[in-house]
Structure 1
Amino acid sequence: MVARYVQIADELRARIDGGEYAEQSSLPKQADLARDFDVNVNTVAAALKLLEREGRVQSRRSRGTVVLPRIPLQKVGSATYHPSKWTSPRPRTGSGEAGPSSASDSSELTTVGVAPADEEMAERLNVVPGDDLVCRTSVVRDADGTVSQIVRKYYAYAVAKGTLLMSEESGPANRWREFQILTDVGLEPATVDERLHARLPDAGELGALGVSVGEPVVETRRRVYAASSTPVEYSTGLYRASRFQWNYTFDLSAGDDQE
């Protein structure tokens, strides 16, 4: 038998999807919902907590339980990395992720740091342990100010030195900026290995992303190779699972047996 709080969560979710409770509106008070569903307040609280973990609602001190915008940003598989994305003519704006709102609605704040490579990072970028690496950390916010992703990209200092990979930039999110720079210095990306998995965030990530306890995140790990099979970028990404969807299209006529 399905627990009563799960049934209530299902009903509230259906009302949100059906437009009865609009985005950014407040749900009825817990006491009112308890009366409507003929349950105690604790059962309603459990249902709302379930929706909060899904990223559908958020508890706010001054407004009660608020319906969050449903803005799935699409990452479109292998087509995302087609060279036309970063070679001429170059896009002026755009994060490479499409959604109901324009890409210019996303803003990015980037910080740059330099630190010696440990053994793990040295192997990933084919450098000697202790060599300097450049780390670009980008925090991307949606139009409503919600942090949707945090991405860290690593480069050998010998590659980044004297390029815009050393600059800190704020403005419209543009995921192709680094690929453009690598191309300009003769290291055009040729192969991308990207892996992703869902998990619960740790304590530090809860605060950084502003997610609720129990709301899942998607972690990505990507390594980019130039035509020489030399790794030129290693990156990790942390995404709010409720804000993204991953779409993949495969060309089955290519006859590629690799997994």
Structure 2
Amino acid sequence: MALGSLDRSGDRAPYRQIADQLRAAMDRGDLAAGDKLPSEADLMRHYDVARMTVRQAVQELRTEGRVVAEQGRGVFVRLPAPVRRLASDRFARRHRDAGQAAFLAEAEKAGVTASVDEIQVGRGQAPALIRERLMLDDAAQVVIRSRRYLASGQPIETAVSYIPADLAEGTRIVEHDSGPGGIYARLEEAGHTLDRFTEEVTARMPTADERRRLQLSPGTPVLTVLRTAYDTEGRAVEACDTVKAAPAYVLEYDFPAR
């Protein structure tokens, strides 16, 4: 990888110039996802700067979520492939008929290998906001399904689904493996044909637990999406609270101009 030189007569701080050049190398593909950055010693020697200057440059890239430091190994480019979410397509019935849940359909379009771990299934009362979306009273029970999604081994999303207990009981929704097509396929098999979805999208900084579970670099934001699914009778049959690593997603929506 060819590195440039510093403009010592300009106003831009040397560490920012170094960060600019490393960032440009990533954008060009000279430094690809998983590649190791030049060592501190190499960067100090090339740019003729102090160690602190190099560390400031690398810290800027870490804050942006572009690189991640691994203890004892060095600093590596962290650019997970985006999973393009097509709001008009990802919940299409044809995916469920083919045995694919929404995340599998998204991952296939992006050309990444999808996997799910940290699956937990339980029963209890939903948080107030979820009860409101599901139009449930305070005493109502829900089945709670929590999981983490990975794209080619990289954690990029956590999700918690809340399904009214009377809809989930007697189906594979209460099992660890909900079966081909996921919980939406099971709901439709039980007679609750899906009609529409609503989503509320926000952005924020992650909690400490979210940073750990999604392996986020300092300063990396997350997207939160609260989705509610309705059947053809107008009943809210599921609410799903997801937290997504922002660099891994492109949210694309297609809707008519009428």
Q: Quick check: 1:115–1:132 contact (8 Å CA) kept in 2?
A: yes
What's the CA shift for 1:94? 6.1
> Are 2:73 and 1:71 equivalent residues in the alignment?
no
Aligned-pair identity in percent equals 29
2:104 counterpart SS class: coil
The 1:122–1:98 alpha-carbon spacing in structure 2 relative to 1, beyond 3 Å, is closer
Determine the structure 2 residue equivalent to 1:106: 114
The 1:92–1:180 alpha-carbon spacing in structure 2 relative to 1, beyond 3 Å, is closer
Determine the structure 1 residue equivalent to 2:138: 129
In structure 2, how many angstroms separate the alpha carbons of the residues matched to 1:122 and 1:185?
Answer: 22
- Mark the runs of 5 or more structure 2 residues left unpaired by the alignment: 1-10
Q: Quick check: 1:58–1:68 contact (8 Å CA) kept in 2?
A: yes
1:57-96 matches, within 5 Å, as 57-86=67-96, 88-91=97-100, 95-96=104-105
Q: Quick check: 2:84–2:110 contact (8 Å CA) kept in 1?
A: no
In structure 2, how many angstroms separate the alpha carbons of the residues matched to 1:228 and 1:14?
Answer: 53
Q: Quick check: 2:82–2:110 contact (8 Å CA) kept in 1?
A: no
The 1:19–1:237 alpha-carbon spacing in structure 2 relative to 1, beyond 3 Å, is same
Tell me how many residue pairs correspond in the alignment: 247
Q: Quick check: 2:156–2:244 contact (8 Å CA) kept in 1?
A: yes
Determine the structure 2 residue equivalent to 1:35: 45
Determine the structure 2 residue equivalent to 1:192: 197
What's the CA shift for 1:244? 1.4
Determine the structure 2 residue equivalent to 1:49: 59
What's the CA shift for 1:218? 0.9
1:150-189 matches, within 5 Å, as 150-169=158-177, 176-189=181-194
Q: Quick check: 1:118–1:130 contact (8 Å CA) kept in 2?
A: no
Determine the structure 2 residue equivalent to 1:224: 229
**Cα RMSD between the aligned structures?**
2.4
Q: Which moved more, 1:188-197 or 1:45-54?
A: 45-54
The 1:194–1:165 alpha-carbon spacing in structure 2 relative to 1, beyond 3 Å, is same
Q: Which moved more, 1:54-63 or 1:157-166?
A: 54-63
**Residue number among 203, 213, 227 corresponding to 1:208 in the alignment:** 213
Q: Which moved more, 1:64-73 or 1:217-226?
A: 64-73
Write the deviation string for residues 223-254 of structure 1: whole angstroms up to 9, x where unpaired. Answer: 111112111111111111111111222232xx
What's the CA shift for 1:210? 1.4
What's the CA shift for 1:27? 0.9
In structure 1, how many angstroms separate the alpha carbons of the residues matched to 2:92 and 2:178?
Answer: 25
Q: Quick check: 2:90–2:102 contact (8 Å CA) kept in 1?
A: no
Amino acid at match of 1:64: G
2:32 counterpart SS class: coil
**Residue number among 133, 136, 147 corresponding to 1:138 in the alignment:** 147
The 1:189–1:100 alpha-carbon spacing in structure 2 relative to 1, beyond 3 Å, is closer
With structure 2 as the length reference, what TM-score do the two structures score?
Answer: 0.86
1:79 counterpart SS class: coil
In structure 2, how many angstroms separate the alpha carbons of the residues matched to 1:221 and 1:92?
Answer: 17
Q: Quick check: 1:225–1:232 contact (8 Å CA) kept in 2?
A: yes
- Mark the runs of 5 or more structure 1 residues left unpaired by the alignment: none
Q: Which moved more, 1:216-225 or 1:90-99?
A: 90-99
Q: Quick check: 1:53–1:212 contact (8 Å CA) kept in 2?
A: yes
What's the CA shift for 1:199? 1.2
**Residue number among 244, 247, 255 corresponding to 1:250 in the alignment:** 255
The 1:217–1:93 alpha-carbon spacing in structure 2 relative to 1, beyond 3 Å, is closer
The 1:196–1:163 alpha-carbon spacing in structure 2 relative to 1, beyond 3 Å, is same
2:45 counterpart SS class: helix
Q: Quick check: 2:90–2:105 contact (8 Å CA) kept in 1?
A: yes
What's the CA shift for 1:6? 3.1
